Structure 1
Amino acid sequence: MKRKRIRIALLLLAVVSLLFWWMQSGHKSDKMESGYSGNFPVMAEIVRVASVRDSFGVTGSVQALRDVEVFSETSGIVRKAYVEVGEKKQAGAVLFQVDDELQASAERKARLACIQAKRDYERYANLYQEGAVALGSVEPLKLKLDDAEADLITAGRKYRDTKIKMPVSGTVTARFVEEGEMVQPGVKVANVVDLSQLKIRFYLSEKQVLMVSSGSLIKITSDLYPGRIFAATLFSLSGKAGRDHTFEAEARMENPQATPFRSGMFVRVSASGAAERQSVVIPRAALAGSILNPQVFVVNLGTARVRNIVAGSSYGTSIEVLSGLVPGDSVVTSGQNELHDGMQVSVLRQTGKGPEK
């Protein structure tokens, strides 16, 4: 019984000692976290109203003004290829020569038939003018001539189609047939892009759409050409949003020869609104919460209070405040990471002016 009492007493003593040590540690930890026994020193800035100009910056993709798939309109064996991938060709240049023996023969036959039909018609037309033949003898020859001319047009077109040509001036990006291969009407033989002008496609949010309109100046930058700014003009803006509630936009620009772009490259697209407006702004450094849940510490009579805000657009080192603050409020810009709601503070330095009267 005596040993049992001793064990209980030792156990109680251990519990009391542990509790005392924990209380002492917690007290020291609180002091270490703050580092100050008095008011915590902070720096603050007066909330102000400033003139801002709305702007946006999004990622866009470069596309050729014309991206054309070239198809065969005839059937036959490719006898000669006059192009390689990467070559620049003018519109009308021959890319492939398809076997044209049958088409050339048909075209010559149609031409001769047309010549003969024309001669017969003209001879009988002259006789009709002289009164030697009746009108009924001339009309069938006129129809025969018209039919021969139509056959010549068809045969000529088939003969010309044996030369597959460039539909537009540009660069050949792909070749899908080789010499000796058989092609049929509708078979894709090449791809051509016209890079003399570029289309810049990008997507804007509901708010960003209001900043621009058709004809607006758009700035284009690229990591490939650091420090260079290229000017583009907004060509079109969709009137209907996609599933992600963004609107497709397209700007156009000349492809600079000194710093050329290629189809498929990524660029940065930026633009500014037409007019300035007045808005409440604070330094970005004043934010204590996250971007999704922005908060600031407002100093009032030496006490720091947490205040939730609604943040708007960013302008360099400043951020727009849509609600939660009014001009004249004092927000902590340095030291807020050590603060908690209701903590006593002393402002070491306060910058900015109060609201204008």
Structure 2
Amino acid sequence: MSTQLASARPRILRPWQVAAAVAVLAVALGVLYASTRTKAEVRVVNPDYETIESTVSTTGTVVPARDFPARANFTGVVDKIYVHLGEKVKAGQMLIQMKDQYAVPRLEKARADLDDAEVTEQNVLDNGSKEDRLGMQADLQKAQTERDQAVTALDSMEQIAKHGSVSGAELDAANQRVQAAQMNLGVIEKRMTDRYSAQDIKSWKDTVAADKASVAAEKVSWANANISTPIAGTVYVLPTHLYDFVPAGTDMLHVADLSHIQVRANFEEPDMEKIHVGQAVDVTWDGAPGRTWHGHLEAKPLAVTRANGRSVGECLIGLDDDHGDLPLDTNVAVIVATEKREHALSIPREALYTENGKQYVYRVDGDELRRTEVATKMSNAMRIEITGGLTAKDTIVRHVDTDQKLSDGLHIKVVN
């Protein structure tokens, strides 16, 4: 009986047995979790040595280096068009004429008035016209003859008076004749050398100056209606037609030297300190996929303008390899190489993370990730230079294909 009671008692586990059982259970659960856990699928990349350029990009417009817009100087009607689209013209060639029936008569009258004034001025400076001078020369000779004859007659009377055959009245008359002849000769001589006063000369010089100003003004008025080109080039814009009514200020046509074109580009204010005259520039156009034009920065912005909430500075870019295949007024993409480094260790920008001012990557260690801080320097739109924290032998995560968040120690599966 006592033996049966003893065998029916429950068996009591000792502490070490309980601990062993818990450890076994934990290991089993860990193995089960590890076997069922989903690994993050990632794509990886190795840091690589390559040439890296830091760039600034914007958009621009193709413009001619020298452009002449033929603008309407007044509201009116187009009377004549002397050129056609695509025509090559020489400097000074007439382009277009606005209707102004008074321009030519006014200019001709101003020129006629100037001619008259200049002739009169020259006559004043020469003490008379050629006809006047010829007349005065004849008067001078006549006066000299009269004086000589008067002097001769006086001498004869004085000789005769010694014998008492001439009265005192006759002798006085002879003297008066000599004095009158001498006075008349003096007047003629002065008229030939000093006919006009200094005030007369100044007055005519002022008249000529005023008439020259009138001619200049009428030339401007005439040129406002008859527009010529100051530069040689090609007519590349001609929206105007004969007999069009155009408001003042309208661009009726454009002439440009198409062998020298530029790109006018606006750079954001923060980028302006990165760009400098002479830096290399790449230009692309959607109209020619795969084609790149090369140039250089010719001028930095002198001022910042603000429009539509943007602060920008305008720059001019010269093209070095354009051959007339980049149309004017097209919109192009502009990339300026602000800095270049050869054989730089770099990674894709998407592989770099930033938190609290620190930059880091996720380095692959077996099937786990290790958060690794790195030092960076140059960068562009695609890559960033690594100056510390990684080597070319390391492998880092470039992209995760699952919804899992990358973290230190995360188990991964490389899928690329």
1:151 Cα deviation after fit: 2.8
Q: Distance in 2 between matches of 1:320 and 1:276?
A: 9
2:385 corresponds in structure 1 to 320
Matched, 1:215 2:269: no
Residue among 229, 245, 255 paired with 1:166: 229
1:232 corresponds in structure 2 to 295
Q: Distance in 1 between matches of 2:110 and 2:218?
A: 7
| Contact 2:293-2:321 within 8 A present in 1 as well | no
Shift in CA distance, 264/294, structure 1 to aligned 2, threshold 3 Å? farther
2:193 corresponds in structure 1 to 131
Shift in CA distance, 231/123, structure 1 to aligned 2, threshold 3 Å? same
Shift in CA distance, 304/228, structure 1 to aligned 2, threshold 3 Å? closer
Amino acid at match of 2:252: A
1:354 corresponds in structure 2 to none
2:326 corresponds in structure 1 to 261
Shift in CA distance, 33/106, structure 1 to aligned 2, threshold 3 Å? same
2:259 corresponds in structure 1 to 196
Amino acid at match of 1:173: V
Q: Distance in 2 between matches of 1:108 and 1:177?
A: 29
Q: Distance in 1 between matches of 2:96 and 2:46?
A: 73
1:117 corresponds in structure 2 to 117
Q: Distance in 1 between matches of 2:320 and 2:338?
A: 23
| Contact 2:367-2:411 within 8 A present in 1 as well | yes
1:214 Cα deviation after fit: 0.6
CA deviation map 1:95-121 (0-9, x unaligned): 222345433223333333333323333
| Contact 1:81-1:179 within 8 A present in 2 as well | no
Q: Unpaired runs of 5+ in structure 1?
A: 1-26, 35-39, 349-357
Q: Distance in 1 between matches of 2:71 and 2:385?
A: 55
Q: Distance in 1 between matches of 2:271 and 2:74?
A: 49
Amino acid at match of 1:253: L
Residue among 31, 35, 38 paired with 2:36: 31
Q: Distance in 2 between matches of 1:344 and 1:105?
A: 95
**Equivalent position SS for 1:234:** strand
Aligned-residue CA RMSD in angstroms? 4.7
1:251 Cα deviation after fit: 0.8
Shift in CA distance, 300/106, structure 1 to aligned 2, threshold 3 Å? closer
Identity among equivalent pairs (%):
18
Shift in CA distance, 146/296, structure 1 to aligned 2, threshold 3 Å? closer
How does the TM-score come out when normalised to structure 2? 0.56
How does the TM-score come out when normalised to structure 1? 0.63
1:272 corresponds in structure 2 to 337
1:62 Cα deviation after fit: 1.9
CA deviation map 1:140-166 (0-9, x unaligned): 333333333333333344334431223
| Contact 2:350-2:399 within 8 A present in 1 as well | no
1:61 corresponds in structure 2 to 61
| Contact 1:76-1:98 within 8 A present in 2 as well | yes
Shift in CA distance, 287/143, structure 1 to aligned 2, threshold 3 Å? closer
2:369 corresponds in structure 1 to 304
1:68 Cα deviation after fit: 4.4
Shift in CA distance, 155/208, structure 1 to aligned 2, threshold 3 Å? closer
Shift in CA distance, 177/295, structure 1 to aligned 2, threshold 3 Å? same
Deviation >6 Å, runs of 4+ = 40-46, 48-51, 308-312, 345-348
1:190 Cα deviation after fit: 0.9
Q: Distance in 1 between matches of 2:249 and 2:312?
A: 37
Q: Distance in 2 between matches of 1:250 and 1:196?
A: 16
Shift in CA distance, 193/262, structure 1 to aligned 2, threshold 3 Å? farther
Q: Distance in 1 between matches of 2:282 and 2:79?
A: 48
Higher helix proportion (structure 1 or 2): 2
Shift in CA distance, 274/298, structure 1 to aligned 2, threshold 3 Å? closer
Amino acid at match of 2:294: A
1:331 Cα deviation after fit: 3.5
1:234 Cα deviation after fit: 0.5
Matched, 1:252 2:318: yes
CA deviation map 1:164-215 (0-9, x unaligned): 223443434243463274x67x442514152332222335567865654212
How many residue pairs are counted as aligned between the two chains?
309
2:164 corresponds in structure 1 to none
2:166 corresponds in structure 1 to none
Higher strand proportion (structure 1 or 2): 1
CA deviation map 1:236-257 (0-9, x unaligned): 2236666556654321126733
Shift in CA distance, 188/44, structure 1 to aligned 2, threshold 3 Å? closer
Amino acid at match of 2:278: G
Q: Distance in 2 between matches of 1:347 and 1:114?
A: 94
Shift in CA distance, 298/68, structure 1 to aligned 2, threshold 3 Å? same
